[in-house]
Structure 1
Amino acid sequence: MKLATLVVAALAATAGHAAAQEFQPKAAGTFVVTARATGVLTDASDPITTAAGAASGLNAEVGDDVMPTLGFTYFFTDKIAVEAILGTTQHEVRARGGATDVAVHKTWVLPPVVTVQYHPLPAAKVSPYVGAGVNAMIFYGGDDKNGFSVDLDNGIGWALQAGADVALQGPWALNLDVKKVFFKTDASINGGALKSEVNLDPWVVSAGVSRRF
């Protein structure tokens, strides 16, 4: 009888531990790595002018791209965390207006974003968060098109963020994340004969899987 009682007690303790470990909640000291598929959606369309500022009748438009990215998050408290994302995307710049629609440049951009996040429900299975921070835009590997020469200025912007983690088994979770990045760059075309102040201001939309450590 005592043996049966001990067995029942052991099973109950094991079941309680398993239930407690169904998913690992967020907490101070937690480090999270997130692999995402990320779309950088710019929707930029800004006037191209001459060096003197006269209208050319053309707009500079920047295309979208989807690439894998990595996010690294550290929780300083149960509710306050800092995230850095790393990835790179490629975008085509076109000149459009009237009957003109021509590719003028294709460039890679490294857009690291660092945000401070607030997680109001860190122990919940569905745990939303909001954040704000800064971003850099670093253009590299530019490829001029159709006889045009384009230079884009690097710079710093800022970002707003909202997202949610949906806990799975143990340390694993699904992640949905949306950032609005505010950034503009000066484009110099054909040695400055033409120019444009391009408001990229992309939406950065991501979905992926994370692991908590």
Structure 2
Amino acid sequence: MKIIMIKRTICLVYPLFCLASPTWAEESPWTYRIGMTNIAFDASAKVYLNGQRVPGGSADASDNNALTFDFGYAINDQWNVRAIVGIPPTTKVTGAGTLPGIQLGKITYAPTVLTLNYNLPALGPVRPHIGAGVNYTRILESRDANLKSFDADHAWSPALHVGADIDVNRGWFVSIDIRKLYLKTDASGYLGPQEAKARVTLDPLLTSIAIGRQF
């Protein structure tokens, strides 16, 4: 599944590189960014076994790093729309609280974050911005560990965005962005003979650094 996603991403990104031309880059409203994003989860969960809440039971998710692709469109001098996608990472889900150390499963996921951003006054070569929008996280694969028939749902969430572009050369810039997602999902499976369900809060913080180009 990861290979398919990588091929699709390359097919999407390659034509955009081919379109880049210094003769019209400064006039174009389009930008692209390629970089690395750290995904740090602030996870917790309400866990149920056979319909009964497990007192103090919770869950945690391992952090990830992912290669990401960010596309932007300037509506005018003040407003722009940005979308970020990436190579789908895999997080390990473990028990926490009164369920410490239990390996529940692994999830390969693909978040897509779309935000509307407002450009703040520039500070020399630094062009800061703030924004808000929506995230859709698609679950590509769920793999069992101690929790059998492990499954997690796709999910929508609100997103906040703050960042800055730092001009380096004509048409080129370094981009630093922080996105906060308020993400919840439902997970289920079987822990031995017992049916397990959880309402999982993930709330990841996405911190990105990238090289950008106007094209």
Instruction: Name 1:201's counterpart in structure 2.
Output: 203
Displacement after TM superposition at 1:90 (Å): 1.2
Q: Following superposition of structure 1 onto structure 2, how do residues 2-41 of structure 1 map, counting pairs within 5 Å?
A: 29-41=28-40
Aligned partner of 2:43 in structure 1 is 44
SS of 1:78's partner is coil
User: Identical aligned pairs, as a percentage?
Assistant: 29
> Which runs of 5 or more residues in structure 2 are unaligned?
1-24
TM alignment of 1:128-143, pairs within 5 A:
128-143=128-143
CA distance in 1, matches of 2:99, 2:53: 19
Q: For residues 89 and 74 of structure 1, what CA distance do their matches in structure 2 show?
A: 26
Matches within 5 A, 1:58-137: 58-87=57-86, 88-98=88-98, 100-121=100-121, 124-137=124-137
User: Structure 1 unaligned runs (5+)?
Assistant: 1-25
Measured in 2, the distance between the counterparts of 1:123 and 1:29 equals 22
Question: CA offset at residue 29 of structure 1?
Answer: 4.3
148 and 211 in structure 1: CA distance in 2 versus 1, 3 angstrom threshold: same
d(CA) in 1 for partners of 2:36, 2:108: 17
Matched positions, count: 188
Distance 2:159 2:26 in 1: 24
Aligned AA for 1:92?
Answer: K
Aligned to 1:8: none
What TM-score do the two structures reach when normalised by structure 1?
A: 0.81
- Name the CA distance, whole Å, in 1 between partners of 2:99 and 2:140: 30
Q: Which residue of 2 aligns with 1:21?
A: none
Partner of 2:159: 159
- Taking a change above 3 Å as real, the CA distance of residues 99 and 105 of structure 1, as seen in their structure-2 partners, is closer
- The 1:27/1:130 distance shift into structure 2, 3 A limit, reads farther
8 A contact 1:29–1:77 mirrored in 2: no
The structure-2 alpha-carbon separation of the partners of 1:28 and 1:130, relative to structure 1 and needing over 3 Å to count, comes to farther
TM-score w.r.t. length of structure 2? 0.80
Q: Supply the RMSD in Å over aligned alpha carbons.
A: 2.2
Give the Cα separation in 1 of the matches to 2:155 and 2:97. 27
Matching residue's letter, 1:64: D
CA change 1:147–1:79 in 2 (3 A) is closer
The corresponding residue for 1:18 is none
Does the CA contact (< 8 Å) of 1:78 and 1:122 recur in 2? no
CA contact (8 A) 1:105 1:149 kept: no
1:118-170, Cα deviation, whole Å (9 max, x unpaired)? 11236951000001100101111221113533111112111000000100011
